[in-house]
Amino acid sequence: MKYWKAALAAAVFASTTVTAVAETVLRLDEVAVGELDPAKASDYADSILMFNVYDTLILPAQGGPGHTGHLAESWSSEGNSFTFKLRDDVTFQSGNPLTADDVVFSLDRMKALGSGLSYLFGVVESAEKVDDLTVTFNLESPYAPFVASLVRLPIVDKKLVMENLGEGDGDMKDWGTAFMSANSAGTGAYSVKSHNPQEETVMVKNADYFLSVADAAPDTVRLRYGLEAATVRALISKGEHDIASQWLPPEVVSALAKDGAQLFTEAGTGAFYFKMNTTKAPLDDANCRLALAHAFDYSTAIKMIAISDDISAGSAATGAIPVGMYGSNPADQILAQDMDKAKEYLAACKYDPSEMDIEVSWIAEVPLEERFALLMQSNFTALGIKSHINKMPWALFAEQVAKAENTPHISQLFVNAVTGDPDTLLYGMYHSSTPGTWQSPEHLNDSVVDEMLDAGRSAASPEDRAAAYSKLNARLMEIAATIYGFDRQSVFAASNRVKAPALTDASKAFGLDGLGFSFRLMEMTE
């Protein structure tokens, strides 16, 4: 009997040991900060968190256009109303069942907070519960991108949030923002184990997720923030890191690839922009802005982002709208430096070039931007314009651009269509109703631009939308509120421990930034 008990104990110990060894950990990094509250999410790190901890009614179809049901199994529309039928097999990580009440609450909460991407739902007059598994959205006016916008309405656990309201005024107090900034309240495939928005978020696989998750999907994910490029390179080389952020300098990514790292790519629905503050002299004069836009060396910028002969972090821009989106110019009409035109526009500018001093800022967490700043400085010097470069941490930049007078002359930013639709790339950047966000440091107020943006939202057909965005493209190039550096593609160096089909196989790509980092679709090989 003693022998049998000892053998059983040894077997249990061995089983426990095998289980512990078999647990897989995916390690990756992003730029800080990581915003966990989905109603406040807007940046890339926030998107990674949102798409794994929360779910949405619909998702972009993989490998092509259109959308598929996710939390919603079907939907229909009539006039300005959209009705969604929910799945009946979904529970939140708390164990609470998903109902239409949660959908209505999620919309109301996002609109009440007015943060993150809440502007996407400004046209929604109300969301109404039809029954426990049916919800209807009523729009104030036609809004062509509405279904696409729902990829940015994460559904939160109403009951859990209501049990954790913090200090605040009114019946809803703080709408649970204190709780939601540190805890998960979603249905997602991963739940939050710990969260420090400046350092690291640790997530673990949700065993009760409503969809099947491969056994090979990572059991634990450690998303770290703000790692230095040299640190990331060393960690990957030593096998202690799995996916580097897209912000590594190209030569570091290239060196890692030569050392055996994989290269993951995510085709963007956005671009890299040099945004000019249209309210601050001398850039309140369109001729001056046009002079700088024509002086910029686009071809050198493209060479600066090359990873290898076959892979680059971007392609030549043809105008204000990335190639392939509604209203874009043909791929062969690339922008190019033209110093003769630059001098003509400068001569027409009302300001004296000898008295100009252009502030060119760059984001401290994205070292590649310093090189672009130096390139611009060289271009401007050739035009006879003085400039100075200012390094700014992301948090400070996001704070300063809230006021036009505090916004630099030129800001460097990657901006993407957060729903995959051009409306969510362009409206937040250029409509006069949305100044003072990190996306809109141009502080643009142009009636023609507003008219075309509104037309793109309300047009009844794809052809009409394309026509509106084509006119918008022409107007934006005419007034030159922005220098369009290049259309972007994100490139990530990765270890050979991880497989990510959505980042390596075009037939499985989502066409939406960050969604390729759905950890439930990844596999760890060891």
Cβ pair 484, 320 in contact under 8 A: yes
Residues 172 and 300 in one domain: no
Instruction: Please report, for residues 292, 330, 344, 409, the alpha-carbon distance to residue 485 in angstroms, rounded to integers and kept in the order given.
Output: 12, 16, 21, 16
Amino acid at 503: L
Residue 4 within any structural domain of the chain: no
Residue 75 within any structural domain of the chain: yes
Residue 110 within any structural domain of the chain: yes
Residues 299 and 210 in one domain: no
Residue 241 within any structural domain of the chain: no
Q: Give the pLDDT score at 268.
A: 65
Report how far residue 300's alpha carbon sits from residue 311's, in angstroms, rounded to the nearest whole number.
Answer: 16
271 - beta bridge partners? 415, 487
Number of compact structural domains in the chain? 2
Amino acid at 475: R
Residue 188 within any structural domain of the chain: yes
Per residue in 423-470, pLDDT tens? 989 998 999 988 888 999 999 999 999 999 999 998 888 899 999 999
Residues 416 and 441 in one domain: yes
Residues 475 and 511 in one domain: no
Residues 6+ apart with CB under 8 A from 180: 36, 37, 38, 39, 156, 161
Q: Give the pLDDT score at 501.
A: 95
Residues 117 and 196 in one domain: yes
pTM beyond 0.95, yes or no = no
**Residues in the chain with pLDDT values less than 70:** 1-21, 268
Residue 253 within any structural domain of the chain: no
Residue 254 within any structural domain of the chain: no
Residues 143 and 180 in one domain: yes
Residues 177 and 293 in one domain: no
Q: CA-based angle 318:321:326, to the nearest 5?
A: 115
Residues 201 and 277 in one domain: no
Residues 349 and 405 in one domain: yes
- Cα atoms found within 13 Å of the Cα of residue 259, Cβ hemisphere only: 16
Domain of 89: which CATH number?
3.40.190.10
Show the domain range for 108.
26-222+495-524
Domain of 275: which CATH number?
3.10.105.10
C-beta neighbour count of 455 within 10 angstroms: 17
Q: Report the candidate in 36, 62, 32 with the shortest Cα–Cα distance to residue 186.
A: 36
C-beta neighbour count of 68 within 10 angstroms: 10
Residue-wise DSSP of 360-393: EEEETT-THHHHHHHHHHHHHHHTT-EEEEEEE-
Q: Give the pLDDT score at 420.
A: 84
Helices 339-348 and 286-295, packing angle to 10 deg: 160
Cβ pair 526, 280 in contact under 8 A: no
Residues 187 and 279 in one domain: no
Residues 284 and 418 in one domain: yes
Report how far residue 170's alpha carbon sits from residue 168's, in angstroms, rounded to the nearest whole number.
Answer: 7
**Alpha-helical runs (H) found in 93-242:** 100-113, 146-149, 158-162, 177-180, 229-237
Residue 144 within any structural domain of the chain: yes
Q: Report the candidate in 314, 332, 330 with the shortest Cα–Cα distance to residue 271.
A: 314
User: Could you give phi then psi for residue 447, rounded to 5 degrees?
Assistant: -65, -35
Per residue in 12-29, pLDDT tens? 444 444 444 479 999 999
Residues 356 and 468 in one domain: yes
Q: CA-based angle 235:239:242, to the nearest 5?
A: 75
Helices 368-382 and 286-295, packing angle to 10 deg: 110
